[in-house]
Amino acid sequence: MIGKLRGTVDSLADDHAILDINGVGYLVFAASRALGQLQNVQGEVTLWIETHVREDHIHLYGFLSESERQWFRTLTSVQGVGSKMALSLLGALSTQEISDAIAAQDKTMLTRANGVGPRLAERIITELKNKLPTLAAALSVPATLEPIKGGKGKAAAVDAGQAARQEAISALVNLGYARVDAFSAVARAVQESGAEKVEEIIPLCLRYLAA
């Protein structure tokens, strides 16, 4: 599976970008908000990738940050929200706005996304309101848009705390917990305790999940 790609933007379309990596062009679907930001990038860019494999195709979905990718996964876990609808939401609203809309049970805000009607907006809120009120804030990371000068160096580094949160989520998923529940538990642990290390976060999460 492809988890991340780094290269130069070859071309942009309404719903995707072609990312050139050593002469190979990868077609990556993305939200309109992300595509708009890619228009102004000079040099190399890093995209976090969600790979969907089907019998008749392999689709790559690209995001400017790990938190956007996590929100894409979370949104597509809701019944009736497919990849196209999740990208529509991420194009119309920032991850913080989506989180705020769910926490406030604001259906109108969610319906700003093309194709999202009141019923689907209500379903998104119903399925996620108790699990993700603080997800965007707890897992937010800066967009990895800085060009890599001279073709060398590294993209903007993910801070140690963010890496620990992601590692904790992966560990909880490997223990059998649902990804959405793992996100919520880690978000709560970080917000309530300020824990920054995996060994501090996981025990708190296990306590929350066992309650």
Token pair, residue 197, equals 């290390």
pLDDT of residue 53: 85
Residue 76 has pLDDT above 60, yes or no: yes
One domain for residues 123 and 108: yes
CA distance 97 to 102: 9
Token pair, residue 109, equals 């805000």
Going by pLDDT thresholds of 50, 70 and 90, the confidence category of residue 160 is low
pTM reported for the whole predicted model: 0.64
Residue 81 has pLDDT above 70, yes or no: yes
One domain for residues 80 and 37: no
CATH number at residue 78: 1.10.150.20
Helix axes 66-76, 83-92, angle to 10 degrees: 130
pLDDT of residue 10: 93
> Does 39 reside within a domain?
yes
Task: Give which of 191, 197, 138 is closest to 171, Cα–Cα.
Answer: 197
Cross-strand partners of 24: 21
CATH number at residue 49: 2.40.50.140
Domain count, the chain: 3
One domain for residues 59 and 78: no
- SS3 annotation, the chain: CCCEEEEEEEEECCCEEEEEECCEEEEEECCHHHHHHHCCCCCEEEEEEEEEECCCCEEEEEECCHHHHHHHHHHHCCCCCCHHHHHHHHHHCCHHHHHHHHHCCCHHHHCCCCCCCHHHHHHHHHHHCCCCCCHHHHHCCCCCCCCCHHHCCCCCCCCHHHHHHHHHHHHHHHCCCCHHHHHHHHHHHHHHHCCCCHHHHHHHHHHHHHC
One domain for residues 19 and 53: yes
Q: Which of 20, 48, 64 is the last residue of a domain?
A: 64
Mean pLDDT of 102-125: 91
Segments forming the whole domain that contains residue 127: 67-137
Residue 166 has pLDDT above 50, yes or no: yes
> Does 190 reside within a domain?
yes
User: What is the amino acid identity at position 49?
Assistant: I
CA distance 197 to 160: 8
